[in-house]
Structure 1
Amino acid sequence: MLLLIVIAHAPIYLFTAKTFMLTRPLGEHWLDDFVNLVGLLFVDNRAYPMFASLFGYGLASMVARQKDKGVPVTEVKRLLRRRSWLLIVCGFIHLVLIGGADILAVYGISGLILGWMLFKPVRMQRRAMIVIGAVYMAIIPTAWVSVYPILTGEELDIGLTPSHTYLLLVSEHVIAFPIMILINLLLYPMLLIIILGVWSAHKRWLDNPERFRPQLKRITIGGIGISLIGALPYALTGANMWNPEPELISWFVIVHIITGIAGGLGYTALIALFSISARHTAPRVTEALASVGKRSLTFYIYQEALLVLLLSPVALGLGGVLDGAGVFAIAVLIWFSSVCLAIWLEKRGWNGPVDAFLRRLIYRQRKVSDRR
């Protein structure tokens, strides 16, 4: 998950590139084109649905654990609200002070919007999915047909530039913070994917993948298959292998985003299937990946901070001299360093500092009341 996220976010920092397809610039040579083809087929608009579905699954699991412990529903709701508000605060710090591409605040807002659904029957959650899905199917095509030409037009200069300073970036991100949240909630089917994750938690597919192997195989094959077919037109365009009419590209984006839902769910199911065999055939790999997953918030921020430090014009500025292939390599190395650090922390029995601090803030009031 974190590998795909860092690969997706790295091209944002190519601040001397001229022609962007949303977050990914058109390549200057064949290797750039190949990286764009792979990124647009397998990563862009596919990584965040996997992240969001797992977030929803985690929310439902958290609520179930608290209720199993006998915690009153009112207290569980209070914990959920506190967690959501703390994610918003973390997201603000991450975007404004660190300068990373943030998703935490969006999850916090989503938790406040959808939190009540966690305490409703599965039947009502299914109805909510249908309603939210229908709303997105109406909003996304209408919005992107109008917005895409503006976001990719040369007259709109909203990206990083060589003249950016840290203070300028902070001031811009303060203004961009609420806009970024609205864009993620309205132009991408974020709420739909999270409620899908909440609903799937009732099936416990990820908790007991051995029991649901046939279903997970179908989700993997169907989800990734739909994702690849839907991504292909936009990927060919971004790889300079097709030069369609400009009006068509907006529709390619729409199909790319919508089929990305299937891709994210397919990746999640694939990871669950991998976990079954990896426990026996590659336990060290499994343990290494699990050590990162247990500290996902820490390493998400760690990876974003390193992207800013290495690539941004406000720090080392390598994004001004590297190309698409170069930042891809940087992204993979950053992720690999996070795996090595996670293994080191795991061997010492240490939690991720950001994860541990957030949990302490979420549960501290309940611990105080328990002692009393």
Structure 2
Amino acid sequence: MTLPTPQARRGPVSSSERALAPDLARGFMLLLIALANTPWFLYGQDTNGVSAHPTDGSVLDRVVQFLLIAAVDARIYPLFAFLFGYGIVQLYRRQIEAGVTDRAARAILRRRHWWMIVFGVVHAALLWFGDIVGAYGLVGLVLVWIFFRRMDRTLIVWSAVLTGLLTLVTVLGLVSLPFMPADMTIDQGGFGDTAAINAEENYGASVLARLAMWPLIALGQGILGLVVPVMILLAFWASRRQILENPGQHLRLLRRTAVIGVSVGLLGGLPNALTHVGVIGIGEHQAWIFTLTQSLTGLFGGLGYVALFTLIAARVQSSPVARSVPVVAIQAVGKRSLSSYLGQSVLFAPLLSAWGIGLGANLNSAGVAAIACLGWVVLAVLAYVLERRGTRGPAEAVLRRLAYR
């Protein structure tokens, strides 16, 4: 028998080794990410300074805005963070089980995360300032370095500490709500100024603007916002127990997490959504407080979505539905989540940005949401074709070649 050398590396996971739940969750997640990004392409419209969503529109537009704020905004990137952290442990475990040394396996992780940062910079420069691939590569480098070898108790304690810190900031904001002077103003540009990056007609100037914005998003959303580190630490813990691979053994935990998480996420998004559509009459000098509740409850909402998608996968995995075209297509998108995520920008940025066709200046919330759904369907069809051919996504193929050398 030939023993693996210390530098031996097994290749990336094969289709037969993949669990349905993570891929199904990633596939759904890509649709929700597309919807979450839509407001940023509606440049030139008035916002209230605390949301990227326009402050006007038809009844249908207002319904779309309400649903996105309550159920999608600040709920999907935590879901993405959890699945990313879960995959880190999966990748490491496969290498160790194949006989790769700890040092060599961790080197693969480091290369992968460094190249994700490079992917993120290129993605931001060329197409989309809100890139999260680089942000997650950055936080992956930091958290793997600090926490990857820590005990389970350490992961839970630090996730609780960071959640507690975020909760404290939110509570202090809510307590201060009645005492805010009415003449305190917010920069009305706020989100509108950020969305205005897509209003730049000169492509070269738009590249510079996106590159200037990307580091702030990578640091703010990736690390300083605290939500992503919390989700990745919890994902480390969950992946060690292979909860998504074996949902039948963890049904009680998954059901409780789904019910509590989704409920807290939806209820926590209501104040922001109701304020946006004018049901809650609160001054703009106070409305920003609900961005804090949005972020905190989005953490629970992201966990709830993970558990819900896992329960759905557990139900369909052993049934004929798992082999149906829609399920296979959604799973195919999940298997190619990086390619699908970048593919959204390839479809939407030239179509909606001012340096391209510029449809974003003339659309409303409902219209751009419809385009997002249609784009996701197009990418699902392409992913399905690649799945039938047994071909990996192009971005995954490049990243894996760079990471595995």
Question: Residue 135 of structure 2: which of 86, 98, 106 is its match?
Answer: 106
Unaligned runs of 5+ in 2: 1-28, 178-183
Mapping 1:3-152, distance limit 5 Å: 3-20=31-48, 21-116=50-145, 117-138=147-168, 150=186, 152=188
Note closer, same or farther for the CA distance 1:323–1:33 as it changes in structure 2 (3 Å cut).
same
State yes or no: 1:282 paired with 2:321.
Answer: yes
1:11-65 deviation per Cα after TM superposition (whole angstroms, max 9, x unaligned): 1000121125432222312111100111011110111111111111111111121
Amino acid at match of 1:62: L
Q: Which residue of 1 aligns with 2:398?
A: 357
State yes or no: 1:171 paired with 2:199.
Answer: no
Which stretch shifts more, 273-282 or 311-320? Answer: 273-282
The separation in 2 between residues aligned to 1:154 and 1:133, in whole angstroms, is 26
Amino acid at match of 1:60: V
Q: Which residue of 2 aligns with 1:224?
A: 262
1:205-229 deviation per Cα after TM superposition (whole angstroms, max 9, x unaligned): 1111122122211111110111111
Q: What SS is found at the alignment partner of 2:193?
A: coil
Amino acid at match of 1:172: A
Q: What SS is found at the alignment partner of 1:322?
A: coil
Amino acid at match of 1:317: G
TM (normalized to structure 2)? 0.84
The separation in 2 between residues aligned to 1:341 and 1:248, in whole angstroms, is 45
Q: Which residue of 2 aligns with 1:212?
A: 250
Note closer, same or farther for the CA distance 1:194–1:328 as it changes in structure 2 (3 Å cut).
same
The count of corresponding residues between Structure 1 and Structure 2 is: 363
Mapping 1:187-198, distance limit 5 Å: 187=225, 189-198=227-236
TM (normalized to structure 1)? 0.91
The separation in 1 between residues aligned to 2:173 and 2:357, in whole angstroms, is 36
Q: Which residue of 1 aligns with 2:276?
A: 238
Shift of 1:166: 0.8
Which stretch shifts more, 209-218 or 116-125? Answer: 116-125
Which stretch shifts more, 305-314 or 120-129? Answer: 120-129
Question: Residue 181 of structure 1: which of 209, 215, 218 is its match?
Answer: 218
The separation in 1 between residues aligned to 2:77 and 2:186, in whole angstroms, is 23
Amino acid at match of 2:164: A
1:235-277 deviation per Cα after TM superposition (whole angstroms, max 9, x unaligned): 1112233331234312211111100111111111111111122
Shift of 1:142: 7.3
Shift of 1:136: 3.5
Whether the 8 Å CA contact 1:22–1:152 is kept in 2: the answer is: no
Shift of 1:348: 1.1
Question: What RMSD over aligned residues (CA atoms) do the two structures have, in Å?
Answer: 2.3
Whether the 8 Å CA contact 1:81–1:112 is kept in 2: the answer is: yes
Whether the 8 Å CA contact 1:227–1:262 is kept in 2: the answer is: yes
Amino acid at match of 1:123: R
Note closer, same or farther for the CA distance 1:238–1:123 as it changes in structure 2 (3 Å cut).
same
The separation in 2 between residues aligned to 1:107 and 1:150, in whole angstroms, is 30
Q: What SS is found at the alignment partner of 2:65?
A: helix
The separation in 1 between residues aligned to 2:248 and 2:192, in whole angstroms, is 50
Shift of 1:339: 0.7
Shift of 1:112: 1.1
